[in-house]
Amino acid sequence: MADREALPEFHGVCRAPFGWIAVAVKDEAVREIRILEQAPERTGNPEPLAETVCRALQDWFDGGDWPQKIPVKPAGTAYQKKVWQALLQIPPGETLTYGELARQLDTAPRAIGGACRRNPVPLLIPCHRVVAANGDGGFAGHTAGHWMDIKRWLLSHE
């Protein structure tokens, strides 16, 4: 996400309705997606998978189907990966509250929020589909401003 240190390499860059998306791949899987407000420069060699991700996201932004079957392999703890795997099971257009997902995984809502905040592959691992019991919750560690506008756009688009 935009608040983390710079990616060593962006292998694909594409425009989104809410900014720009930079894609990093390694070993035939997406490792990280950054949502940025300004156009970044591609810093790595173009990779076919990154280009596929950009085309799939552009198609989805234009009203096509949700991108599926794109291999993702984010770095994280075993717990984070368990939560991220559960996020992949939430269908487009549906949401779960932090509490509902916590009950499914026998954990705490705050821990779910922490794993969502650390999701290095937003959009493809749809953390935006997790909401608070009484509102939108957060997105990328933010509860107001541009990031929440992005979350609301994503939920509305689905």
Active site residue ranges: 127
Listed in order, strand segments (DSSP E) in 4-134 are 12-16, 19-26, 29-36, 96-97, 130-131
DSSP, collapsed to helix, strand or coil, labels residue 135 as strand
Instruction: Report the phi/psi class of residue 72: left, alpha or beta, with left for phi > 0 and alpha for psi in -120 to 50.
Output: beta
Other C-beta atoms closer than 10 Å to the C-beta of 109 total 18
Which has the closest alpha carbon to 50: 65, 35, 71, 64? 71
